[in-house]
């Protein structure tokens, strides 16, 4: 496995934490040792919820419930910038994002798992970047997910699979605005585009995580066939919740195994230096207010 990086990167990652963002159905992680609950303020407001820190299988973990512990935030209301900034501030350098998704392919069944490698963005009221208000950075999103982290995750999932579940490595995640589910016309359009799954949150997180130089991978847990498959019931909250309950227990087992592996490997990837050639604006032309908001990400390039 390629875990290339500079010696400085390697040294930094020795003390880094693994972030877990829990989506629908995954609001806490059991078996954490030495748990602390942190309420943080960020330059971008409050995160979705208090962050839990602790140790899981030898790995220091930071857990955040994306929608809040009572699922009170819809996908457009999630404070994405605050969530990612808080993770980076707590020295998170890898994020596993557990999410409920709908399937857009016949062979991807409810309760299967997908680790996508591409996105199509159909959201229209989400933050697209940390870099604004006088500073510009053009981050590369050619490979939006961290390939190395996704490989580690897939290897651990393969060890845990049961005969009624299948792992699909690779595929395109269609990010829609929500909170309503798709129309049938939209669902069929996304199938024509070759998309594998549909969800409402991961694209925004992945963009911001890349700018924060955090390796990001999606643990996409399939709950339904969206609404394109006329042989199945149209997607409903009851259907989603039933499959969420089954998926969440399996997701916790995957996260536990992945934490142990990441603790051992400490994998370095290009995600950890994503800003190196992306910053366009010279620091002398950036206001102190903007520099202070972004210093968490830019200090190693601007100092």
Q: What is the pTM of this model?
A: 0.93
Q: Which one, of 265, 257, 295, 208, lies nearest residue 10 by Cα?
A: 265
Among the listed residues 112, 117, 121, 226, the single catalytic one is 226
Q: How far apart are CA 137 and CA 200, in angstroms?
A: 25
Q: Which CATH number fits domain 17-302: 3.40.640.10, 3.40.50.1580, 2.30.130.10, 3.30.565.60?
A: 3.40.50.1580
Q: What local confidence, expressed as pLDDT, does residue 24 receive?
A: 77
> From the candidates 224, 233, 277, 299, which is the catalytic residue?
224
Predicted local confidence at residue 2, as pLDDT: 38
| Annotation says 9 is catalytic | no
124-134 pLDDT, tens digit per residue, is 999 999 999 99
pLDDT for 142-164, tens place per residue? 999 999 999 999 999 999 998 88
Q: Report how far residue 112's alpha carbon sits from residue 12's, in angstroms, rounded to the nearest whole number.
A: 35
pLDDT tens digits, residue range 42-68? 999 999 999 999 999 999 999 999 999
What pLDDT does 116 receive?
A: 98
Active site residue 277: no
Q: What's the confidence (pLDDT) of residue 3?
A: 43
CA distance 185 to 193: 12
Residue 133: per-residue pLDDT: 94
Overall average pLDDT of the 290-296 stretch: 96
- Tell whether the model's pLDDT for residue 290 goes beyond 80: yes
pLDDT at 6 over 70: no
Looking at the chain, the whole-number percentage of residues with pLDDT higher than 70 is: 93
The structural domains of the chain, with segments of one domain joined by +, span 17-302
């Amino acid at each position: 496995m390629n875990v290339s990086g500079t010696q400085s990167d390697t040294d930094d990652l020795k003390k880094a934490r693994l972030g877990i963002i829990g989506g629908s159905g995954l609001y806490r992680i059991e078996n954490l040792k030495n748990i602390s609950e942190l309420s943080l303020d960020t330059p971008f407001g409050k995160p979705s919820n208090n962050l839990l820190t602790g140790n899981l299988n030898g790995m220091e973990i930071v857990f955040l419930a994306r929608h809040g512990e009572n699922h009170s935030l819809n996908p457009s209301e999630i404070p994405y910038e605050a969530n990612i900034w808080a993770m980076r501030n707590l020295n998170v350098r890898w994020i596993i994002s557990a999410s409920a998704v709908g399937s857009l392919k016949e062979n991807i069944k409810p309760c299967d798992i997908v680790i996508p490698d591409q996105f199509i963005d159909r959201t229209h009221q989400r933050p697209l970047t940390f870099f604004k208000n006088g500073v510009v950075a053009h981050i590369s999103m050619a490979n939006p997910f961290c390939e190395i982290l996704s490989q580690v995750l897939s290897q651990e999932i393969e060890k845990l699979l049961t005969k009624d579940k299948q792992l699909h490595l690779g595929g395109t995640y269609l990010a829609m605005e929500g909170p309503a589910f798709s129309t049938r016309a939209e669902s069929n359009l996304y199938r024509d585009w070759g998309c594998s799954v549909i969800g409402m949150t991961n694209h925004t997180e992945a963009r911001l995580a890349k700018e924060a130089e955090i390796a990001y991978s999606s643990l996409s847990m399939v709950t339904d066939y969206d609404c394109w498959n006329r042989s199945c019931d149209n997607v409903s909250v009851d259907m989603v919740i039933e499959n969420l309950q089954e998926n969440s227990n399996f997701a916790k087992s995957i996260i536990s195994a992945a934490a142990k592996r990441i603790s051992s490997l400490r994998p370095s990837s290009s995600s950890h230096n994503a800003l190196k050639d992306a910053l366009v604006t010279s620091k002398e032309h950036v206001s102190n207010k903007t520099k202070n908001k972004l210093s968490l990400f830019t200090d190693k390039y601007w100092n």
